[in-house]
Amino acid sequence: MYKGSCHCGKVAFEVEGEIDGAMACNCSMCSRRGSLLWFVPHEKLRLLTADQDIGTYLFNKHVIRHRFCPTCGIHPFAEAIDPKGKRMAAINIRCLEGLEFSSIPVTHFDGRSR
């Protein structure tokens, strides 16, 4: 179980699972944000902040709900449906407590070309 939050702590969550890797995407959103994404089934994400207190940004095809803190602007996670129809969460592991990022393998995804 990992605890995560935005910078100011107003958006807080817990997520369960084992981090075996993260993805760095080069799309216009992710490259500016610098996030490292870990994908988990949505039911493994437990919000500790009321959903209505979390901002949502949609762009491009409007299929990924990029969630952010309206106070500090940090994007700790996103929500979407995978190609098999399953609800997923993309956790920005940079927002998780107590991780040693250098030990997590990162794959690169060419989101810019999609």
DSSP string, 58-78: --TTS-SEEEE-TTT----EE
Higher pLDDT, 31 or 76: 76
The model's pTM? 0.92
CA distance 36 to 87: 19
Domain ranges of the chain: 2-113
- Return the CATH fold of 2-113: 2.170.150
For residue 112, what pLDDT band results from cuts at 50, 70 and 90? Answer: confident
The distance in angstroms from the start CA to the end CA of the chain is 33
Q: What pLDDT, on the 0 to 100 scale, is given for residue 101?
A: 83
Per-residue model confidence as pLDDT tens digits over 88-101: 999 999 999 999 88
CA distance 12 to 22: 20
Higher pLDDT, 31 or 11: 11
